[in-house]
Structure formats: C-alpha cells, structure tokens
Structure 1
Amino acid sequence: MTTNLSFSRDVSLQPYNTFGIAAQANYFLSITDVDQLRALRADPALAAMPRLILGGGSNLVLSDQVDALVLKMDLLGKSIVGEDAEFVYVQAQAGENWHAFVQWTLALGLGGLENLSLIPGTVGAAPIQNIGAYGMEVQDALFQLEAFDFASGEMRVLDKAACQFAYRDSIFKHALKDRVAITSVQFALPKQWQPKIAYADVARYLQLQAISAPSPRAVSDAIIAIRQAKLPDPQVIGNAGSFFKNPLVSAAERDALLLNYPDLVSYPQASGEYKLAAGWLIERCGWKGKNLGRAGVYEKQALVLVNRGGASGAEVRALAQAVQADVLAKFAVTLEVEPVFV
C-alpha cells in the first residue's frame, strides 16, 4: 500500500457497533475529509479491497472477523444552508450523531424531524435505512444528499427520487451498495409546521401531559419518553433497535389471521395491504424475555434482540433465525431482518 493514509490494523470494532460485538477489523480508517476517499480510490490496492462503510454501527451485526477495509465516517459539521417561501434547508455531515442533529434543529426552532428523535446512528447512515418511527421516515424531510462514488471518483448529488426510498430501504442497499459513501445530507424543514401525532402512544402521552397544541419540542420530548420506556439503551445493553421489519400482508391474509387471532395488531396501508406488528407476532410465539445462548429477546419489547453479554454475531443470527422460524410456523408470516449481517 503506497498511500500515506493513516490506517490502523487489527482494530476492535466493539466500541463502534451498538450491539457490542467484539469483532476485529483487518484495516480501519477514520474518514474526516472527503479527500481521503479520493486518495483511497487512487490507490489500486486499496480500491480493490472489500469496504465496510461504518456510521454509528447501530444497524449492523458483525461477524468475529471483518475481512474488509472499514471506513468510519467521521465527517462533522452542520449549518443552515438556505430557505425559500416554504422551507428552511439544513445540512449535516455524515458523521454527525443523528439524535444530536435533531435536537440542534429543534433548538433553532425548526420542526420536521422531531418524530425521529432518539434513533441511534449517524446522519449519513439515516438515508441508507430510510429510518422511521411514529409516522415518519427520513425520506419525508430529505431534500438531497452528497455521496462519493468510488466507481467514478466523483461527488454525486442525489435528490429524494434518486434515492429510491421504500420501507426501511433505499438505493444504497441495492444498486449503490458499497459503491458510494454518503458524505452529507440536506433536509427541507417546513415553515408551516404541523405535528404528526396520530400514533396512539404519542397522542396518549401528550394527553397525559395536558398538551393539546404541541410544539416540535413537545413532540420530541414525547417520542424520547416513549422510546426510553420501551427500548434498551445501547450504552447499557447491546442492541440494534428494532430487529425485524413489520411485515406487510394482503387484506385477505390479514383477515384470515384475524379469524384465529382477534387481537392481531395491524395497520392499514395506502396500498390496501396491512402492516402487522412484528413485536406482537414474536411475543405470541413466546420469545419475549427469552435467550438463546448469549443473545436474547428484550423483555420490554419483543421486536428488539439484545446482547446479554459477550454474544457473537453467530449467536445473534441463530436467535434471529429461530424467531423467524417460529413466526413462520405459527402465522405463515415471514419476518425480514432490519440490520445488516457483516
């Protein structure tokens, strides 16, 4: 390797993934400047290496040995970049902490991201997963993003349509997987803000607080309180948040399930399909609070798998597969994993 980039060898990735898996990286580089990405591409040996682009590590399940060049996206900075009659445009670099960025927008008096409060990870990783919670997805506010294209060596600007967003999905998991590194993201935050509080948990919390006309900050506070009550803190117990996608089924499939399970939790979709609550399905299979090896299903929310201490990526995978098998056998519903196994 002829480049003067400052690599580290055999680096523990345990501090860099929220599941707390003690994986080792062959090569590790903190990216603090886009020029580093250009230098990587210019070196034939480096350009040929498998890459793992790492944000906050909140949507990964790592194997014990990561045989790749791990690029930790540590680009920092955020600012207001413009406005028009409808929106204020804000931009953040890829390495910015997502929740801290949301709180920064709220401190500026800008609403639009509050429903995505307390989601772990970084700004640059948010579009890849099209993160979402409580009636909102990142695509709802995203205006455009910049990404370095390792194939062409150029910076690319992708608008919302080009990102090909879907439920917990985007082009960055498909055609552009491993080809680009997102470097910054720009959001359009509405000047005429309206709260999104249709979810029962959010409406109930605001009602208990006697808040009838919530501000963006009040909605954020509600989301934070609800998430803290249901989800484990990765600093305390390793996890990757919601581990399974809520499955979509046809109206006929949902009606058939209702015959046997009248308390089935489902939500109608604009497509005519129904979204089932994966946590409800898992709990009904008896997995809530149960362990398999050193991995387990969180006792307060069956949608979350946790590291009970020293769990390997293989143990997490085995638990996920066991849960999937039981849900399929009981309900004839296939659960899809949200995190990426590396």
Structure 2
Amino acid sequence: MLHITEQDLTHYNTLGLKSRAHAFLRLHDLSMLDALSDTAARYPGVVILGGGSNVVLAPHIDSLVVHMETRGAQLVDDDHDARIVEVQAGEPWHHFVATCMRQGWAGLENLALIPGTVGAAPIQNIGAYGVEQDEYFHSLVAWDIRYGRRVEMGPGDCLFGYRDSFFKRVEPGRWLIVAVRYRLPHDWRPRLDYPDLARNATIALAGAAVTPQQVFDAVCEIRRSKLPDPAELANVGSFFKNPVVDAETYRSLRDLHPGIVAYPVEDGARYKLAAGWLIERSGWKGRRLGPVGMHERQSLVLVNHGGATARDIQVLADVVRAEVATRFGVHLEQEPVELGAPAPEQA
C-alpha cells in the first residue's frame, strides 16, 4: 500500500518557493509502480518531482506529486566501441557524472555540476559547455502511468530538441522515467569548443594531453565562478533559453548591435543568441523587482532573495521578456516548468 501524505515543498525546489502538495509520494522502490497507476487515477493529475531544480511551484498543488528517490548506476554492457551505463532516475546528475569520472567512463564531463536528477535529464535534454545529453543518450525505461506498463524508448522516440523532448510535449505527467542508459565511447575526445572552457588555465596548460578529469574539474570551476549555489541563493540556473534566430535576423541584429554574442548552429543557417547578453544590455543584470532579481554575475539567472512566490517570479520574467523584446525584437522562452495552479492576480 502506498504511503501518501501532505508535504511542504519549500525545500524540494531550488527556487525556495513556498508550496504545499496535498498528496505526496516518495517512490523509492520500483515494485510500487503498479500501485502508483491504480492510485493516480484518483487525482486530477500527476507531477513528477526530481531535484526541483527546473520548476516554478505554485503555492498549492492538487495533483499527486511523485518524488523519485531510486538511486544507483551500473555498467550493463561493454564492447570494443563503447560502454552502456544504466542509471536510476532518482540519482543526482552531478553525482552520476562524478561516478563516471571515478570509474574511467568518459563523455559526460562537460555536463558536470548541473543540478537535478538523472530522470529529469532527458526531459529537459540538459546541456552545457557545447554538449547536450542526447549526444550520449542510448535509451531509457519509462513507466506509462495511465496504462500501467513498462516502455522502452530510444533516441527517436524521445524527440530531443534544444531543452526539449517528447516528455515536455506529450501528456506531461503520464510518463515516469525509471532509468536512463548512456553510451560512453572508448575513443574519447575532449569537447573544448565553448569559449570559457577553451580559455580555462588548466585546459590551456594541458593542451593535447588534457584528460576527462581535467575537463570535469575545469567545468566545475567555471560554473562555481559564474553561477550562484542554490543552497546559498535560491535559483534554478538559467531561467531563459538562448533564442535561436535565422541568419538574416542575426545579421540585422549584428548591424544594429555590433557586440551581440551569438553562436552559429546548423552550419550557419541559424544562430543561437546569448540570452544573458540580451538581458544585461536591457539593463537587468543585478537588478531586483521586489524579492526577486537577475543575478549580479550572471544575468541569465533569476534569483529569489527570500520570500518570493510563483507570482513574483512570473512578474519579473514578464518584465524582462518585454524589455528584451522592445530593445532587440527577440522573444525569450522560459526554461523551468510551472507546476500547479497559477497564482491569482492581486486586486
């Protein structure tokens, strides 16, 4: 029998928003999955919660909140080309990447220090420093909560895009990711195209002899220098996606704003604009609006200085989006997912 309780979620989301789940389930054993499907039918929906590092929680959540707490990673196959590593969904992502470094399984080091759990990684298709998780993704096991069945899914099933996947587009809450498998090639080559990484002193000194551990250490050093620790200042990391525009739009923006920061994608057919640069040039770096603001070192990071609600987050995000649109004609899309009923407007 499942043990379902009410739960204060303030410490289950890295934005530190006050939120309460009326039905909360800790899922620590996969033998609970059949009972989960039976129980979920009694609620208006299901919310899957991992590390809470990519969500904006409403004050009250009436859906059944399932907190993934399964842990562990193991090597399930190893041939002459690559290793296949299977990880349980509740495993903290950074802990998994660090485990790979200790085991000599290279490939994911550019994704070090990303908060959240392994189960959330395919949903968001996390990425950093020139690498996205789908480049090493092999397959996953999901539980179809509606029909109470186990489903195997490969890369084509997951429909990965930039910070996007099948799980964000098709009936969110129906699919519970149980375990994820990554294919880590034996023929490792460092990925050092990202400017901050290429300029790092450790990487520069190592040159062609750079090791996966050195890349891992450099990524951790860079992230710690630029991004606030959620344990010290509540945040969800990058709050907006880097907008992607066609080449013509990019050239027009470059003519108007010569210093604009952008990176070519699809062989130069489109360009990814640095959202942080757009926000900074719109005057929002380090500025506050009530209890929330954009971080003083990294303007892409929205922070909660204390006591904020989902409504405060929404107001600031709308203002920043509007000012970037006015100045540059570019729309910013929010990264974190909003969960629960929206906060009412104040009279």
TM-score, L = length of structure 2: 0.95
Residues 1-342 of structure 1: pairs in structure 2 closer than 5 A: 4-9=1-6, 11-43=7-39, 45-46=41-42, 48-206=43-201, 210-212=205-207, 213-270=209-266, 272-342=269-339
> Which deviates further from its counterpart, 277-286 or 150-159?
150-159
- Identity among equivalent pairs (%): 46
Structure 2 unpaired stretches of 5+: 340-347
Residue 33 of structure 1 deviates from its aligned partner by 1.5
| Deviations 1:271-320 (CA, angstroms, capped at 9, x unpaired) | 61010000000000000000111011000000000001111111011111
Residue 34 of structure 1 deviates from its aligned partner by 2.0
Relative to structure 1, the CA distance from residue 65 to residue 113 in structure 2 (aligned partners, 3 Å threshold; closer, same or farther) is same
Conserved 8 A contact 2:203-2:210: no
Residue 97 of structure 1 deviates from its aligned partner by 0.5
* Counterpart Cα distance in 2 of 1:339 and 1:217: 30
State the number of aligned residues. 337
Q: AA paired with 2:279?
A: I
Structure 1 unpaired stretches of 5+: none
> Which deviates further from its counterpart, 125-134 or 82-91?
82-91
* Counterpart Cα distance in 2 of 1:40 and 1:151: 10
Residue 75 of structure 1 deviates from its aligned partner by 1.0
Give the 3-state SS of the residue equivalent to 1:210 in structure 2. helix
* Counterpart Cα distance in 2 of 1:258 and 1:88: 44
| Deviations 1:241-264 (CA, angstroms, capped at 9, x unpaired) | 000000011111111111111001
| Deviations 1:38-89 (CA, angstroms, capped at 9, x unpaired) | 102124753x431110010000011111121110011112111111221011
* Counterpart Cα distance in 2 of 1:234 and 1:243: 13
Residue 35 of structure 1 deviates from its aligned partner by 2.5
* Counterpart Cα distance in 2 of 1:66 and 1:37: 21
* Counterpart Cα distance in 2 of 1:111 and 1:225: 18
Conserved 8 A contact 2:46-2:174: no
Relative to structure 1, the CA distance from residue 258 to residue 24 in structure 2 (aligned partners, 3 Å threshold; closer, same or farther) is same
Please provide the CA RMSD for this pair: 1.2
Give the 3-state SS of the residue equivalent to 1:169 in structure 2. coil
* Counterpart Cα distance in 1 of 2:118 and 2:305: 28
TM-score, L = length of structure 1: 0.96
